[in-house]
Structure 1
Amino acid sequence: MKLNRRHLSALLSTLCLAIAMPASADVLSNIMTRKKIRVATDMGIAPFGMLDGSMKPTGSDVDVARSLAADWGVEIEFINTTGPTRIPNLNTDKADIVISSLSITEERAKVIDFTKPYSFIRTTVIGPAKDSSVKDWADLKGKSIAVVRTTMQDVELTPKAAALGFTVVRYDDDATAVTAAVSGQATYLGLGDPQMRTINQRAGGKPFEAKLVIKQFPIAMGVKKGETALQAKLNEWIAVNAKNGKLNAIYKKYHEIDVPAEFLK
């Protein structure tokens, strides 16, 4: 087959470009090359992630991320996120990993990969302490439950709503949901224990309490699909620090309870 000069020139240009462009490095290689890890963490979910009096990140997830970076010998950059943007920040390369009270679900596992669990969270339906009308799931019929969009509470309560006759009202982030509770816009909420603590710190003489336990969930770090080297190295780090007690110590410092042994195997 003969090639004319124009076709030959195009072919040579393509070959030269292919030779000049290096193969795309994996995320772990990028982290180690730049000596910095970018961690997506929601700073609005105390005590997992929050800002201290000097507006600096603090919380159990923040300490886990900092400990990881220190052990790997890299700098850390926190990418502030919300519940709904944790996975998009990861999959659009704004962050290398997610360490942000991210519970493991089948739906999320379709779009990202998870590490071994390093923490846990208990989620409940909460309501005013003075309200004694909700003692069982059937008591929620006709009521509205506020949740943060795409969170585990949303995932768990949505199918129950259809079966039990209550309504799920979705907010875009934890701060908005907490404000709705404190202002009286929402009477019942599906939230984790930490958010209830935040609500009660702001609610004054109108505290909330847990009415029904939705579920206890293991929390893991999230990585992009196919980043097996990064996933394996994170799993190795988690296993070591679960065994030596560091992960439990960090959690207990902020949550005042231990991580159940089943979640740190």
Structure 2
Amino acid sequence: IAILTQSGTFGIALLEKFAKEGVGVSKFVSYGNKADVNEVDLLRYLERDNETNVIAIYAEDLRREFFENIGKKTVVILKTGRSKLGQKAASLHTGAMASSYEIFKGVCRQKNIIFADDFTELFGILKILAVNNLPRGKKLVIITNGAGPSVLACDFIEDKRNIELVGNVVDLTGSATAKDFLKAIEEKEADIILLTFVFQDAPLAESLEELYEGLKKIRKFCMAISMGGNFVEKQKKILFELGIPVFEEPHTAVKALDKVIEYAMRK
């Protein structure tokens, strides 16, 4: 993933989060007020860069020429200066010109650019794109050994037009082992498998090696949600290496997935 940013703060934050979760960075450019190079120059360069698959951008304003140069690579943008107050702050920060956010979103849809609503969603989208092929459809199955986060995920899924929950949540209960999870994953037919793990439950915690060996053989689009501290952080890193991004907040997971599916369906 290449990072282009008008804000050093956002850029450094992304770098740290990428390093923490093992996301690869191809290029990093903090270009501020565009005194020497601008987003068009950088986009043209990255479209030819063999090390870059995804281009992540924090921008306070984007010129029309930028959209005219969008190529085949995936572009994800966090655009600020959307409100009157935001536009004023952006003009003082980088000299950004005021523009309509609704027009920006419309152009993004026309050019199939993913736009994030906030930094957390931006990182979530990039995390999915970094490890997964794109989903082939919008049908999703939830498999869990702890229903709470899954119920919350369902609340957020209901108003997302790009995600369709198939059937009921598959609740394996707190007695679920790795074997139960792997069996359920194999049996369920869906475009996306959302796994809600409670790693702290003893039956699963005692069979994690079996879980990870089994997941290596799975060829389905999987994501996960898990809440906790250091123990969960360790499992998140292992799952990411297996191509499964893990989220703590169901809201972030659902919002990011919705944007990725929309992009995939337009591609």
Which TM class, normalised by the smaller chain length? under 0.3
Higher relative contact order (CA 8 A, sep 6+): 1
Larger Rg: 1
Larger strand share, 1 or 2? 1
Q: TM-score, normalised by structure 2?
A: 0.26
Q: TM-score, normalised by structure 1?
A: 0.26
